Amino acid sequence: MTVRFKRIRPEAKLPAYAHPGDAGMDLASAEALLIPPGTHALVRTGLVMELPAGYEAQVRPRSGLALKRGVTVLNTPGTIDEGYRGEVGVILANLGDEPFEVNAGDRIAQMVIAPVTRAEIVEAAEVGATERGEGGFGSSGV
């Protein structure tokens, strides 16, 4: 499969897989900014992408940033649909105690390309019963 990227900012870096077999490729910032604790910001990548028909891109946090700095992707996973042709941006949230400095070229998130399954939606008067039933939100334990 081929995913095409266009750089729209000179600082933009193409996504790259860090290791063979990795599911996610690293996304890098194309700008510098500071994200104070308890806030969030849109970080631009300087890239426009063209996904093949039937695929989506999922933007996810980098585990090292989450663990070491408390920085995550706010709407995780962020979904980029195949028809979107605007600049890829990442909404980073700083849940840590210190300001988080982003520099152009910094790896800020991961992106996974995945096939899309579309469901046929059918309205029903009843749905089948299960052993679990309506239990949710911690019903199976903490």
Domains and CATH numbers, the chain: 11-115 (2.70.40.10)
**Residue ranges in the chain modelled with pLDDT below 70:** none
**What pLDDT shows up at residue 131?**
86
**DSSP 8-class letter at 16:** B
In 10 A of CB 57, how many CB atoms?
22
Provide, rounded to the nearest whole percent, the portion of the chain with pLDDT above 70.
Answer: 100
pTM for the structure as a whole: 0.89
Where do runs of H (alpha helix) occur along the chain?
A: 63-69
Rounded-to-integer distance, Cα 66 and Cα 88, Å: 21
**DSSP 8-class letter at 15:** -
**What pLDDT shows up at residue 132?**
85
**What pLDDT shows up at residue 133?**
86
**What pLDDT shows up at residue 19?**
96
**What pLDDT shows up at residue 137?**
84
Rounded-to-integer distance, Cα 90 and Cα 34, Å: 14
Give the three-class secondary structure for 45.
strand
Rounded-to-integer distance, Cα 18 and Cα 77, Å: 20
Q: Are 92 and 101 in contact (CB under 8 A)?
A: no
